[in-house]
Amino acid sequence: MSHSHPLHDFRAASSHAAQDPTQRHNTRAAMDFLMQRRAAQFPDADELSRLRDLGQRIRQRALSRLPLLLEQLEARCVANGIQVHWADTPAEACEIVAGLMRQANSQEIIKGKSMVSEEIELNHFLEAQGMTALESDMGEFIVQLAHEKPSHIIMPAIHKTKVDIAHLFHDELPRTPYTEDVDELIQIGRHALRQRFFTAKVGLSGVNVAVAETGTLVLVENEGNGRLTTSAPEMHIAITGIEKVVEKLEDVPPILSLLTRSATGQPITTYVNMISSPRKAGEKDGPQQVHLVLLDNGRSQAYADLQLRETLQCIRCGACMNHCPVYTRIGGHAYGTTYPGPIGKIISPHLLGLDDTKDLPSASTLCGACSEVCPVRIPIPELLLRLRQESVTPENEPNHPHTVRGQGAKYRATEKWLWRSWARIYSQPVLYRASRFAATRLRGLLPHDVGAWTIARAKPQPAAKSLHELVAEYQATQGNQP
Ligand code: SF4
């Protein structure tokens, strides 16, 4: 199967999005709202700091033992009756899900919110097989109806206004009257979905945290669709990246507290689902079968490098997006990747390779707002700088390990030569003085158009005299003072 080339043209798409006033207004308003909600949840800076330290420790401890914890998770799940499947690639993960659907004799799957299913483009894959996937999360349902992709990992339809949704429901759902009343719109969506839960034989969900010591899959949500997806159909398939594992059950409350407060500004979500086994004898509900699909898709590459491994600490709260000045201006779709914003810039090069994502690490002001709010203290700016370095370092560079697929995608021999020449000139006084003289005296010869730099900026203009010359002149005048 083919997965879409993510960076259709990130530069063009981001430039286009930044010039769209409606998009900018909608995204700005939504991000301001989410930022306020989060800030209200953390009134005590000391408590927040302690909780972030704890969250960071839990995630780093889990990652330091990841291979062992994954084996333990598998063993516990199997002992509990959950069948575990491993997928290296999106194609493998899609095949596993389709195979399970065939096993359940089902052509349709009902889905709770799962960014990993977006990552593997499951819906497209199933469509190509003549199968259907129905999104049951309201935001995902809206973007599916609009034939779009999520623009935010927590709020998939955040780019849409209630007027957009009113038109969408009216146009796409049969016999639906036009209304802009938000409660009525939610009822319309719920009504369209509810019956499907009872007919679907297979439900699919994501996983927020997988607990190695107990084999428990934890899933937070607000709409109840997650609980229905994981309990009404006969078969439940949970899909997640291999990094979502934690060591112990006691690690879950701090992670959930950080996640929900950072993500939606809630002390806790309306539903917290903890799934440990299929339905047991005597139980009234629950699926007959539970399957867990563990996806790698480039995560092992990040894991293999101690610095890049920090990327995997992420608990997918989305706070970095909400606070990012770039995301706020261009919105989520411009990135062209499943995970937009700062987390997308550091995880996508592992999932898709730097060939397809080379411009992402550069699309940052390095202001650090993302790492300031990250609940597990991922040093995002440092990781962006590292990926920038990898993107200009050729694969065969001596003494430099080949760490990222597509490494060197931005390497240009002329650029390297220019920087080397610059370093040489600036490290030799004679050459430096000569270049300084030339830059000041020949400054009028500089072209007006210096490529991309001058699209939105004035051209660089050397001064008529260098600082050394000005200081020398000043000292001369001082020396001449009576
Ligand atoms: S990088 Fe940090 S702030 Fe961004 S989604 Fe992940 S955990 Fe949240």
Q: Return the residue whose CA atom lies nearest to atom 6 of ligand 1.
A: 314
Q: How far is CA 6 from CA 147, 353, 394, in A?
A: 16, 10, 22
320 CB less than 6 Å from ligand 1?
yes
pLDDT tens-place string over residues 180-233: 999 999 999 988 888 788 889 999 999 999 999 999 999 999 999 999 999 999
Find the 320 Cα to ligand 1 centroid distance in Å.
5
Find the 332 Cα to ligand 1 centroid distance in Å.
15
pLDDT value at residue 321: 98
The amino acid that residue 96 corresponds to is I
Residue 321 alpha carbon, nearest atom of ligand 1: 4
DSSP H/E element including 139: helix 138-145
263 CB less than 6 Å from ligand 1?
no
Q: How far apart are CA 84 and CA 387, in angstroms?
A: 33
Local structure of residue 309 (DSSP, 8 states): G
Alpha helix locations (H) across 353-461?
354-357, 369-373, 380-392, 413-427, 429-441
Alpha helix locations (H) across 317-379?
319-322, 325-330, 341-352, 354-357, 369-373
Residue 373 alpha carbon, nearest atom of ligand 1: 3
314 CB less than 6 Å from ligand 1?
yes
Among 2, 372, 327, 312, which Cα is nearest to 154's?
327
Find the 140 Cα to ligand 1 centroid distance in Å.
20
Q: How far apart are CA 292 and CA 295, in angstroms?
A: 10
CATH fold of 40-160+203-301, please?
Rossmann fold (3.40.50)
Residue 341 alpha carbon, nearest atom of ligand 1: 4
Q: Return the residue whose CA atom lies nearest to atom 8 of ligand 1.
A: 317
Entry pTM:
0.91
Residue 263 alpha carbon, nearest atom of ligand 1: 8
pLDDT value at residue 451: 81
Domain with CATH 3.40.50.10420 in the chain: 40-160+203-301
The full DSSP string for 19-55 is T-HHHHHHHHHHHHHHHHHHHHH---HHHHHHHHHHH
Find the 80 Cα to ligand 1 centroid distance in Å.
31
Q: Return the residue whose CA atom lies nearest to atom 3 of ligand 1.
A: 374
> What angle in degrees, to the nearest 10, is found between the helix axes of 10-18 and 21-41?
90
pLDDT value at residue 480: 65
Find the 98 Cα to ligand 1 centroid distance in Å.
31
378 CB less than 6 Å from ligand 1?
yes
318 CB less than 6 Å from ligand 1?
yes
pLDDT value at residue 3: 46
Q: Return the residue whose CA atom lies nearest to atom 4 of ligand 1.
A: 320
pLDDT, mean of each 10-residue run, the chain (482 residues): 57 94 94 97 97 98 98 98 98 98 97 97 97 95 96 95 95 94 94 84 98 98 94 96 98 98 96 97 94 98 98 98 97 96 98 96 96 98 98 91 94 93 95 92 84 81 89 87 60
316 CB less than 6 Å from ligand 1?
yes
- Whether the CB-CB separation of 106 and 200 falls below 8 Å is answered with yes
pLDDT value at residue 1: 42
Find the 432 Cα to ligand 1 centroid distance in Å.
44
